[in-house]
Chains A and B, each alone.
Chain A
């Protein structure tokens, strides 16, 4: 089942999608039906450890002039960087290259410690879309990718729905698309992942225990592009919906 976490009328609610005469709407657990712009969208689950993959699509690795890796390039993110659907992400005035990254996010549902590839998918609760922004001006060669480039406030967008694992027939063959102000700028398929989902769970759980709510952002394909204040970025993945985000300038954040 698709479900979201939204704030409305002074409380946080579980919400499910509803098509109301062709207009996107949500139904709260208490029965209220609301337009998608009437609620505040939060990341769709209680997020634990955030693990993100760098260069996990061969085409994107090539785009950034990297050679393929023997071991997954994993980095970690903190809770302050998370943002829900329809939020605003700050672009500092002094930067020249900030880009989106549309990614399939895999949400762990059951504790995983030294899990073999064959059993790995039993530990997946579901999936959502991630938009994992990077500010390349701040990238340094110390513990790459450094947190100033990849762990900024509001720069990791998750949502809009958590889609149950039983609802997604083949997470290894989903098309990803990003639109900037309506124009298609990024397109790829999860079948081109260098390290696939079962491998990533086997690899990570070989040295760290994964717990319910931990999430693996599986990397982005080629097609990243600079974005500017006012731009609307929509990331789509087959079966998971569309995750929208707007770029905002410093004054919005009192900077």
Chain B
């Protein structure tokens, strides 16, 4: 409670009127520049509140006189980018994929578009930059289930693998174990034979029985020497790259009750030019043929 405001004799400034144990405090005014800067800031803040979205309501909010919205401005940027590349993308859509690959200008757009589309749509399964993981093929290596040429990749992406598209890549490996085509012992023998190709079979194991089983049951799709068959999406088996793992147990599991990967047909989601761009990007990861 200000009790007694008095003027200080020396400075000529009023005191605050408070007194604590005989101590009085000068009520020195704030520096003018400081005060006016603060007033200017208050005026600025009110101005911002009036012009921009600021005050929340129960069902809506104050939109501001300028009608600014971060969503609208982000979308405007997105549309601007789209229209910037519209010409090149239309050109990519009209040009055969091999011809696009030979055109550095179109390639610049295609690789950029492909990189972004891949990251948004493909990376969740195939990994960043096509790293791959168990069940989802790595895309940078030289193993291709359905072909590694530009046109092959484009077809695979367009129609998908075992997807709803009638033109999808289709194939089915028989369930040798669960359908009782092969006995567990035979499956072990063929696993020994296949595993020897990349050295997981113990040295000195007799693989003649396995070789016979392989020739009778597997070679039709996977090739006589396990070199793979792209017409059936049959992976090469004499390789160091394994879709479902490379241990003896992995082989046995796959032969007994095979898993089959599925990829959606992207023609339902992406336009042809974008699919072409993704195919070019995937091809450029290093495994393209």
| A and B are interacting partners | no
Which residues of B approach A to under 8 Å, CB–CB?
Answer: none
